[in-house]
Amino acid sequence: MPEPVINPTSHSDVPDFAELVAFLVRPFLEQPESIRVDCELSLSRRKVWVRLAFDADDKGRVFGRGGRNIQAIRAILSAAAQISGYVAHLDVYGSPASSRDDEPQSGSHSSGHRAPTRRASQRGGLRSPSY
């Protein structure tokens, strides 16, 4: 039997994770009304899934340089969930109008692989000039 997933707003003892994420993201948006936040709560597994969508033009501001903004938002969400005894997951989606950005965008939870970078010491280090 599948586990019931509950909207957290129906439980008074569970924080409003969706409103927390919306509160943290709105200052980065040019059009704050474009934000869409959905939250699912699993009581038996003590997990929270928050899905965030906004206009694709605001993606750079929300994610920030090097993903710092979205990492900070995830850290705050995780801390709030941990205080309540939950584990939180945040998925970021593009705006409904753009088909390319409809896949989840994630900073630290990326499924794509980066090619390893090589340092100077791995390339043989510095070479002395030959005179």
Say which DSSP state 106 is in: -
Beta carbons within 8 Å of 20's beta carbon, 6+ residues apart: 76, 77, 80
Can you tell me the distance from the alpha carbon of 94 to that of 106, in angstroms, rounded to the nearest whole number?
11
Q: What is the pLDDT of residue 98?
A: 44
8 A C-beta contact, residue 19 and residue 9: no
pTM of the model as a whole: 0.66
Sheet holding 36-42, edge to edge: 36-42, 47-53, 87-93
Second-level CATH architecture of 16-109: 2-Layer Sandwich (3.30)
Q: What is the pLDDT of residue 59?
A: 94
DSSP labels for 60-74? HHHH-GGGHHHHHHH
Q: Which two tokens stand for residue 13?
A: 């003892």
* pLDDT, one tens digit for every residue, the chain (131 residues): 455 555 555 556 788 999 999 999 999 999 999 999 999 999 889 999 999 999 999 999 999 999 999 999 999 999 999 999 999 999 999 755 443 444 555 444 433 334 444 444 444 545 555 55
